[in-house]
Amino acid sequence: MQIPEMTKRLLAEFVGTFWLVFGGCGAAMYAAGFLSTPTLGSGAPTHLGIGFLGVALAFGLTVVTMAYAVGHVSGAHFNPAVTIGLSVAKRFVWKDVPGYVIAQVLGGLAAGGALWAIARGRDGFVAEGNMAANGFAENSPGGYSMIAVLCAEVLLTMFFVYVILGVTRDAAPTGFAPLAIGLMLTLIHLISIPISNTSVNPARSTGVAFFNGAGAPGQLWLFWLAPIIGAAIAGATFHLITGVDRRDDDITGMVRAEDELVPDGVDPNAARPID
C-alpha cells in the first residue's frame, strides 16, 4: 500500500521530535547527575554523570542523527518554532504548518510519556520537578527571572533559525547541514541550561511539562511564545541581513511536480535531499 507523501512527512516529524525529546531530556533525567552506588567501606559514591556538557551534546546529537535519518522526507524541523520561522521566511508553505506542529507536539508528548514510564522503574522516583522541564523564576535552574528567560529564549531561537536558513542555502556544503544545526543546538544548551533548562522548542517543552508538574504547565506559555517570536524575527530578517534570498524555495526536501520537469516513469513526489 502506498503511503501518502504528507503522511510520511508527518510521521518523520513525529519520530524525529520523539527522539529529540527522549534523547535530550532522557540524558538530563537519567545520566546528568548519576552517582555510583558505593560498595561496603568504599566511602562516598562517585559522580559518573555527564553533566551540562553531556546533556548539551545529547540534544545536539539527537538532531544530527534524525536529520540524517529522515531529513530527506520532512526537512527535519522537529520544532514548531522552526516550522513557523521557515514559513515566515517563505521557505515552507503555511498550509502544512498545522500538521507539522501537531505531529511535533504529539511526538514530544509520546517521548515524555516514555521517559516517565521508564523512570518509574527506579525505586523512589518522583516525577514532580524531575522531568527536565523548562521554567523561570523558582523553576529556573539558576533562578533567572521571567524577563531574563524570555529574552534568552527569543535570542537563542532567533540565532538557531538563522543557522538553519544559512546552512540549507545552495552555496552551503552539501550534506553538512545536520552537523551545523546539531552543533548550534549543542552551543545553545551550553549557554542556557542554567537559565531555563533550554527550550527553543515548544514541542520539547510541552513533551515533559505535564509529567513534571511543579509549576511547569503554568509556565509553558513562555516556552511557546518566546521561541516563536525569535524564529519569526529570524525568518523575516535573514534575507535582509545576509543578502541570501531563497524565499519561495521550499525547505521540506520534497520535489514537487509543478516545480521541475520529471523524467517519464519517475514519481514526481519522490523525496530527495534539500540540496
- Segment 17-75, tens digit of pLDDT: 999 999 999 999 999 887 767 655 566 777 788 999 999 999 999 999 999 999 999 99
Find the length of the chain.
275
**103: closest CA among 141, 125, 129, 77?**
77
Backbone angles phi, psi at 194, to 5 degrees: -65, -20
Q: What is the model's pTM?
A: 0.86
Place of cell 523558582: 138
| Cell 544548551 -> residue | 189
**pLDDT reading at 241 higher than 60:** yes
**pLDDT confidence of 175, banded at 50, 70, 90?**
confident
Domains and CATH numbers, the chain: 5-242 (1.20.1080.10)
